[in-house]
């Protein structure tokens, strides 16, 4: 849980600080361990969007759910690590 928060914070800082040539909008990837609809996950996404609300017109959000609450195991985690 703590690791996921650190990853999200890192991505926010990294994505907001990179100059993107030819594009006006920043791209932010929000990577969640669990699924949409889980209150904990939804609250994190809401908190990120609420915090960045003043910059809303300058941001494109991309949200991915690994859904490790429902899908897990060595084979599943190997696939996730290959993608990351």
CA-CA-CA-CA dihedral for 38, 39, 42, 47, to nearest 10: -160
CA-CA-CA-CA dihedral for 62, 35, 39, 74, to nearest 10: -120
- pLDDT score for 38: 85
CA–CA dist 29, 37 (Å, integer)? 18
- pLDDT score for 68: 81
- pLDDT score for 5: 59
| Domain of residue 23, residue span | 2-83
What is the total count of domains within the chain?
A: 1
| Tens digits of pLDDT across the chain (84 residues) | 656 655 666 666 666 655 555 468 899 999 888 888 889 889 999 999 999 999 989 999 999 888 887 888 888 888 877 876
Residues 48, 8: contact at Cβ < 8 Å? yes
pTM: 0.60
């Amino acid at each position: 849980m703590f690791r996921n928060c650190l990853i999200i914070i890192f991505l926010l800082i990294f994505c907001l600080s990179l100059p993107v040539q030819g594009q006006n909008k920043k791209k932010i990837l929000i990577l969640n361990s669990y699924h949409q609809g889980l209150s904990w996950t939804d609250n994190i996404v809401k908190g990120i969007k609420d915090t960045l609300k003043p910059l809303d017109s300058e941001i494109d959000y991309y949200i991915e759910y690994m859904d490790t609450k429902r899908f897990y195991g060595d084979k599943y985690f190997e696939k996730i690590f290959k993608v990351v």
